[in-house]
């Protein structure tokens, strides 16, 4: 049997994740495969950078963290999105708080377009993080 956690514990973890990201989070979408873990340097081509709101990253509800809406931005480069990373406001190549897959469907972040073309307006329609141990 896998280890499971209480609803309170999972909600608290998602709340802490929101705190770890903090205000003015940075969300970057990259081509290629995600690095091994969040401490490994960014890889691939940086396609899009979203600036978070001047509030927490999102809202915790039903033990899940859903990203707040962000403004559309123009892509910096062309390529096929493969993954995203979420950083605190002072983003570096090795301080991502979490990362996941990105695409048009069946991924952690649902983009409005993929592949992405340089200069194209980009956004995402869904980015929800669920806790471990459900």
Closest CA to 92 of 8, 28, 48, 33: 28
Residue 107's nearest CA partner among 125, 132, 123, 133 is: 125
The three-state DSSP-derived secondary structure of 72-130 is CEECCCCECEEEEEEECCCCCCCCCCEEEEEECCCCCEEECCCCECCCCEECEEEEEEC
Q: What is the pLDDT of residue 60?
A: 87
Q: How far out from the chain centre does Cα 88 lie?
A: 11
Residue, of 78 and 61, whose pLDDT is higher: 78
> What's the confidence (pLDDT) of residue 76?
97
At residue 104 the predicted structure's pLDDT band, cuts being 50, 70 and 90, is: very high
Parallel, antiparallel or unpaired: strands 73-74 and 121-122: antiparallel
pLDDT in tens, 24-36: 899 999 999 999 9
Per this entry, what is the length of the chain? 134
Any idea where the domains of the chain sit in the sequence? 7-129
- Taking the model in full, what pTM does it have? 0.91
Encode pLDDT of 36-46 as tens digits.
999 999 999 99
- Nearest Cα neighbor of 120 from 69, 81, 68, 90 is 81
Q: Has residue 78 got a pLDDT over 90?
A: yes
């Amino acid at each position: 049997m896998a280890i499971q956690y209480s609803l309170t514990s999972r909600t608290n973890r998602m709340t802490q994740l929101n705190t770890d990201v903090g205000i003015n989070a940075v969300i970057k979408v990259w081509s290629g495969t995600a690095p091994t873990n969040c401490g490994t340097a960014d890889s691939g081509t940086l396609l899009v950078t979203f600036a978070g709101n001047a509030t927490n990253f999102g809202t915790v509800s039903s033990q899940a963290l859903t990203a707040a809406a962000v403004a559309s931005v123009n892509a910096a480069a062309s390529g096929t999105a493969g993954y995203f990373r979420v950083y605190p406001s002072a983003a570096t190549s090795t301080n991502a708080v979490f990362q996941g897959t990105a695409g048009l469907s069946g991924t952690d972040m649902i983009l409005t377009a993929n592949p992405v073309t340089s200069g194209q307006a980009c956004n995402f329609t869904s980015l929800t993080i669920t806790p471990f141990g459900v």
